[in-house]
Amino acid sequence: MRRYIIIGAGAIGGAVGGRLAQAGFATVLVARGDHLAALRATGLRMRTPEEAVTLPVTAIGSAAELELTPDDVLVLTTKTHQAQAALVDWVDRPVLSDGKELGTAGELLPMLTALNGVASERIALRYFRRVYGVCVWLPAVHLVPGEVIARAVPYTGLLHLSRVPATSAGPDDHELLASIKADWEQAHLKVPLPEDVMPWKYRKLIGNLGNIFQALVAGNGDHRRLVAAAGAEARSVLAAAKITVTSDEDEAATRADGFTVRPVPGEPEQLGGSTWQSLARATGSIETDYLNGEIARIAHGHGLTAPINAKMATLARAAARSGQRPGAISADELARDLGIEAQ
């Protein structure tokens, strides 16, 4: 029986792992600190627009606590800046069958990269032979140890999935992906299987450029025109780099067919995204270098500049280091920092 190992059981990993466990699939959640302790003590509390349940789960703190088998599927759901450490923890673990070592996780097991941005696939390919990119649309929040709030219905999330690079896909990959799709769609997760997931991930990257604006400004003014400026800059850079991006029309139609975001009882109608959560929880680190910073990287690699996105990555690092709270800067102040004329 296939077993899903969710490496990084925060908002996304907790929601995916919780739904899989709820649907009866063998699932292991990898967590740390107070969250790990809560999962072990009382299970995973999952709150959605339609239910609030506590799910018994298997939770571990590291790869050393688990014996891997050929039927395991590894699902990486950390933030991108945490990906390499997680991959190193798992890559050399032995895969056993009837007590006999068949090889290592990096040689044998599929690694699904369910992270924002477009860098995790390249990072994973340093360690794992079989890498599958996942484009994740899954509005969820993790602020309290042992709890995840997932806000979408009827599907909890929309996860496009393909082999990376797409040109390496073969019959075995198609069979595996079809099996994962069948399992996950039983667990309220919609899983389209495009030929190549990366154009979808680049389109999602454009949307995620707004994460840091939301995190810094929160409700302190209207930052939408600033996000639009960052997005326009990114589209220009991606076009210059000749990177294929899924169209806005295809993205909107697929999302509309996948889920609707609804309020969760007892929570505000608007909840922050992943970057907002990093500042709200004062984690001391942030993923913006792999979102807005990715646009800067692509620009620099083609002899271009991306001043708005580069500046946002700088501000994000400073906010994370200093423990800055969401909403500490107004939209007008941020516009001045970016050299954008106030309205």
Give the pLDDT band (50/70/90) at residue 172: very high
Average pLDDT of 253-260? 86
Average the pLDDT over each of 162-166, 180-184, 209-213, 217-221 and give the range with the smallest value.
Answer: 217-221
**pLDDT of 257:** 83
Could you report the per-residue pLDDT of 215-250, keeping only the tens digit for each?
Answer: 999 989 999 999 999 999 999 999 999 999 999 999
pLDDT value for 277: 83
Instruction: Give the pLDDT confidence score for residue 26 in this predicted structure.
Output: 98
Q: What is the mean pLDDT of residues 72-85?
A: 96
Model confidence pLDDT, tens digit, residues 279-294 = 988 888 899 999 999 9
pLDDT, one tens digit per residue, over 100-111 is 999 999 999 999
Confidence of residue 270 (pLDDT cuts 50, 70, 90): low
pLDDT digit string, tens, across residues 313-342: 999 999 999 999 999 999 999 999 999 876
Among the four given CATH numbers 3.20.20.70, 3.40.50.720, 3.40.50.2000, 3.40.50.970, the one describing domain 3-196: 3.40.50.720
Give the pLDDT score at 342: 60
133-160 per-position pLDDT tens digit: 999 999 999 989 999 999 999 999 999 9
> pLDDT tens for residues 304-320?
999 999 999 999 999 99
Task: Tell me: pLDDT of 269 over 70.
Answer: no
Whether 343 has a pLDDT exceeding 60, the answer reads no
What does the pLDDT look like over 87-99, one tens digit per residue? 999 999 999 999 9
Q: Where are the domains of the chain?
A: 3-196, 202-338
Strands 100-104 and 94-97: antiparallel
Count of CB atoms within 10 A of residue 69's CB? 16
For 12-66, the pLDDT digits (tens) are: 999 999 999 999 999 999 999 999 999 999 999 999 999 999 999 999 999 999 9
For domain 202-338, the question of CATH label 1.10.1040.10 is answered with: yes
Q: What is the C-alpha to C-alpha distance for residues 309 and 229, in angstroms, rounded to an integer?
A: 9
Q: State the average pLDDT over residues 262-290.
A: 85
Mean pLDDT computed over every residue of the chain: 95
User: Residue 76 pLDDT more than 90?
Assistant: yes
Is the pLDDT at 132 greater than 90, yes or no?
yes
Predicted pLDDT of residue 65? 97
